[in-house]
């Protein structure tokens, strides 16, 4: 199955989540697939357009996610713009500072947030399935841990005393928004 992403962190995470089913994940980079422009206004729209583009270009079933950090005190931002907040250099340290600055500017003590993942699985014939996973938590400052990727070092899932940056991948795959979206997809398409 093709993964419509050039993000190595996502490739590792999705490969581990689908490995128990014996499904091999090939990255967009391995298949030399272009990254389509994300023109949708929702996680669902962006996930679908990436999966459909990869399925069409590779002639394989293709999976894509659109995911991001939704911060309640920031009106849900960065949301679908989570990667863009990191700029063209993908500087997530700067993106985390931007989130923290926004919280400080808002003067809001609400640090609740959720990671959201919408997963789309598209087939070359045009059929598509979508699932959604969320992981609620709160934001910490300063960030802690050097594991994971993106905003993981500042996000502590509910019920934990560690950030996603401090949690090992094996443990994270049982908690994350991606794990929840994948579990729903497995139940919908592979059971």
pLDDT over 80 at 81, yes or no: yes
Predicted pLDDT of residue 16: 87
**Locus of tokens 């990869």:** 54
pLDDT over 90 at 4, yes or no: yes
Predicted pLDDT of residue 10: 83
pLDDT over 90 at 8, yes or no: no
Q: What are the residue boundaries of the structural domains of the chain, listed by start?
A: 2-189
Q: Say whether 146 is catalytic.
A: no
Q: What percent of the residues of the chain are helix, what percent strand, and what percent coil, each to the nearest 5? A: 40, 20, 40
Predicted pLDDT of residue 12: 87
Q: Which pLDDT tens digit goes with each residue over 128-187?
A: 999 999 999 999 999 999 988 899 999 999 999 999 999 998 888 788 998 999 999 999
Q: Kindly report the CATH class assigned to 2-189.
A: alpha beta
Catalytic option among 32, 65, 66, 152: 66
Interatomic CA distance for residues 30 and 153, integer angstroms: 28
Q: Which pLDDT tens digit goes with each residue over 28-76?
A: 999 999 888 899 999 999 999 999 999 999 999 999 999 999 999 999 9
């Amino acid at each position: 199955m093709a993964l419509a992403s050039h993000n190595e962190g996502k490739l590792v995470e999705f490969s581990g989540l689908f490995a128990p089913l014996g499904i091999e994940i090939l990255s967009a980079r391995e298949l030399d697939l272009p990254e389509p422009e994300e023109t949708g206004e929702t996680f669902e729209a962006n996930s679908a357009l990436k999966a459909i583009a990869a399925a069409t270009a590779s002639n394989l079933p293709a999976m894509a996610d659109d995911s991001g950090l939704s911060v309640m005190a920031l009106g849900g931002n960065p949301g679908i713009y989570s990667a863009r907040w990191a700029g063209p250099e993908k500087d997530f340290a700067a993106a985390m500072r931007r989130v923290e600055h926004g919280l400080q500017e808002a003067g809001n003590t609400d640090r609740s947030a959720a990671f959201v993942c919408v997963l789309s699985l598209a087939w070359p014939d045009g059929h598509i399935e979508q699932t959604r996973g969320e992981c609620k938590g709160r934001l910490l400052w300063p960030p802690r841990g050097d594991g994971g990727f993106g905003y993981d070092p500042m996000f502590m899932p509910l019920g934990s005393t560690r950030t996603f940056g401090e949690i090992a991948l094996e443990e994270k795959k049982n908690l994350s928004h991606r794990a929840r979206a994948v579990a729903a997809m497995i139940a919908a398409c592979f059971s």
